[in-house]
Structure 1
Amino acid sequence: MAQVYLSLGSNIDRERHIRAGLDALAREFGNLSVSRVFESEAVGFDGDNFYNLVVGLHTDLPVGQLAARLREIEDANGRVRGGAKFSARTLDIDVLTYDDLVGEFDGVKLPRGEIVKNAFVLQPLAELAPQHRHPLTGKTFAKMWDDYDKDRQKLWPVHFPWP
């Protein structure tokens, strides 16, 4: 089974959609590892703050089938497609890593570039999988977070009990 890390985010009815996304992932994939939930300002557009977290799971689904299943979960939560790249989201679920795959698989680029760019991805990933290594840099996620310029993006943990 592949070890997969996903990022989840929402800035529309955040608690409801994050909870629904987690519930759907747990139904589909069983036991989940879940980071704390962080609140952050919108990046790339003016909008309401986001809730973000990272989830770890194991799956036998190939990358393309996993991505399709994640799109179905997003769609079931009212995700509107075809708008601006940076815009409000009911639920956004992205594959960050799939084992140590590097490259494009069924239209999914791995590892996801946001890992090195966005605090709202890297901090919860470093928390959840501190000793896991980035497939390209070879650095642990904990080391990457230690080296990250924390003045670039502000985020803070929020109380979010689940389940």
Structure 2
Amino acid sequence: MTQTYLGIGTNIERDKHARAAIIELQRLGVNLQVSTIYRCPAAGFDGAEFYNFVVGIDTDWALPELSRRLRAIEVAYGRPENAMKKQDRTLDIDILLFGEEISKQSLQLPRCDIFKFNFVLQPLYELCPDLVIPGDGRSVRQVWEQEFNSIGGMSNLTAITLNLSDDYQ
């Protein structure tokens, strides 16, 4: 089993797609953890507000197959196959951390969003503060303590309540 952390974002039919992501992701592994869901402005473009959160999961899937399956989930819920960055989206699922994997290729691991966006770092911190980030050497807590305020802190994050109790157990 590989401990994996995924960043989830949606700004089209947010409640529906946040729930769908959680339901679909629980099928890909065990020990599903879901962070607080945060509402925040679109980053880098003029779009509707997003729901962003992080899911932790232990999975047996190899990285290429997991990536393929995540993409299939996005497409199944309406994300165009040729979707561009910085545009509204039904569902965006990014692999933030995949065990001890380090990669500078097209699937960058650890994903640099951890260090750049408060809507990624805050929920990751909630789930695994003591996890050491591969290749960085700092724990998520250390990154949070050193960088969180400089990337916006809680200034644009609003915790929302989304009733998930009936959707996954």
Runs of 4+ in 1 over 6 A off after TM superposition: none
Match of 1:125 in 2: 124
Match of 2:74 in 1: 74
2 CA distance for matches of 1:59 and 1:104?
Answer: 22
Q: How does 1:1-12 map to 2 (within 5 A)?
A: 1-12=1-12
What amino acid is the match of 1:150?
A: N
2 CA distance for matches of 1:33 and 1:50?
Answer: 20
CA contact under 8 A between 1:64 and 1:108: conserved in structure 2? no
Match of 2:15 in 1: 15
Q: How does 1:5-154 map to 2 (within 5 A)?
A: 5-104=5-104, 107-150=106-149, 152-153=151-152, 154=156
Q: 1:20 to 1:88 in 2, by over 3 A?
A: same
What amino acid is the match of 1:117?
A: K
Root mean square deviation of aligned Cα = 1.5
Number of positions where the alignment pairs a residue of Structure 1 with one of Structure 2: 162
Local SS of the residue matching 2:143: helix
2 CA distance for matches of 1:119 and 1:150?
Answer: 8
2 CA distance for matches of 1:150 and 1:104?
Answer: 26
1 CA distance for matches of 2:142 and 2:163?
Answer: 28
Local SS of the residue matching 2:108: strand
What amino acid is the match of 2:118?
A: A
2 CA distance for matches of 1:141 and 1:149?
Answer: 10
Deviation string 1:114-152 (CA, Å, 9 cap, x unpaired) is 010011111000111010011122111122112224364
Unmatched 5+ stretches in structure 1: none
What amino acid is the match of 1:18?
A: A
Query: How many percent of aligned residue pairs carry the same amino acid?
Result: 40
Q: 1:79 to 1:66 in 2, by over 3 A?
A: same
Match of 2:158 in 1: 156
Q: 1:83 to 1:93 in 2, by over 3 A?
A: closer
